[in-house]
Chain A
Amino acid sequence: MINVGDAIPAQDFPVARADLVRYAGASGDFNPIHWNERFAKSVGLPDVIAHGMFTMATAVRVVTDWVGDPGAVVEYGVRFTRPVVVPDPGNATISVSGSVRAIRDDGLAEVDLTATVDGQTVLAKARALVRPPV
């Protein structure tokens, strides 16, 4: 049984350059801002940045880990507010938490997600509609 206001378990996800290369290959998004520091800086970015879709995929992990069944995610949307800069050497850490915002008449739960890097929000309006665990 879940209730409005329940927190879902928060998690930290490290992201390094190698993750971005792997994501580029798997997703087909080879934009060089995600793997080429020289190019990223030439277009005014501080450094290589993560794919927004990588951050989006990472954030919903707290939901799919919570419910177990990834097929329980009926809707999922985000707004990309700030790029996730990924240093080399080292990594960035995406911190994700969530809470149940509402439970609809049809039993689906609206979950609000918060994703931050170094305390700064990287996703806004991050919300999933989920069939809650029984």
Chain B
Amino acid sequence: MPVPESFVGRVYPPTEPYLVSREKIREFADAINDPNPAYRSADAARGLGHPDVVAPPTFPIVLTLTAGHQVLFDPEAGIDYGRVVHGEQRFEHARPVRAGDQLQVVVAVDGIRVAAGNELITTRSEVRTTDGELVVTAFATIVVRGPEK
């Protein structure tokens, strides 16, 4: 069953504040096998002009994936999670995420359309510090696969 058109424009409440630690950044960098010192050494990061270690460009998914579950598991949306595939992902960084950031995510449903029997839901997740500074905006396209022909 398709997600109601009325979902377009829906905005979900901010997620609980997430404190980004040096250890979490290092764990994520290890998990993508990326040895870049800017993810591990505050001195290395400062040498590049950052106040503390920075996170990899795709690190915000740690926050936005969970935040997006508000849409996927919204009972009114009626999405069959077993048919969900990640279609597209994009990040626009106002600045890199860095250790010490306290971040919240606000997810909005940007659009819903049907293509080739599948439903495509686009979301926009604004990641801001608890002081309101925009750090990164994440755009995701979620594909809900239609029934097999």
List residues of chain A with CB within 8 A of the CB of B32: 23, 26, 54, 57-58, 61
Separation of A58 and B82 alpha carbons in the complex (Å): 26
Q: Using an 8 Å CB-CB cutoff, how does the interface string of B101-116 with A read, 1 for contact, 0 for none? A: 0000000000000000
Give the size category of B's interface with A. Answer: 35 or more
Query: Do A77 and B91 contact each other (CB < 8 Å), given the known contacts A13-B33, A57-B58, A70-B38?
Result: yes
Known: A26-B28, A28-B65, A57-B32. A79 touches B87 (CB 8 A): yes
**Interface size bracket, A side:** 20 to 34
Taking the closest CB of chain B, its distance from the CB of A110, in whole angstroms, is 13
Which among A29, A58, A60 is the interface contact of B65 at CB below 8 angstroms? A29
Q: Does B48 lie within 8 Å of A71, measured CB to CB?
A: yes
How far is it, in angstroms, between the C-alpha of A23 and the C-alpha of B59 when the chains are bound?
11
Asked if A69 is at the interface of the complex by the 8 Å CB criterion, the answer is yes
CA distance A26 to B88 in the complex (A): 21
Could you tell me the distance in whole angstroms from the C-beta of B20 to the nearest C-beta in chain A? 13
- Residue-wise, chain A 36-76 has the 8 Å CB interface mask toward B (1 for contact) of 00000001000000001110111011001100111101111
B92 and A75 form a contact (CB under 8 A)? yes
A27 near B28 with CB under 8 A, answer: yes
Pick the 9 closest A-B CB pairs, nearest first.
Answer: A77-B90, A26-B31, A71-B96, A57-B32, A73-B57, A57-B58, A69-B48, A22-B31, A79-B88
* Interface set of A (CB-CB < 8 Å, partner B): 13, 19, 22-23, 25-29, 43, 52-54, 56-58, 60-61, 64-65, 68-71, 73-80, 125, 128
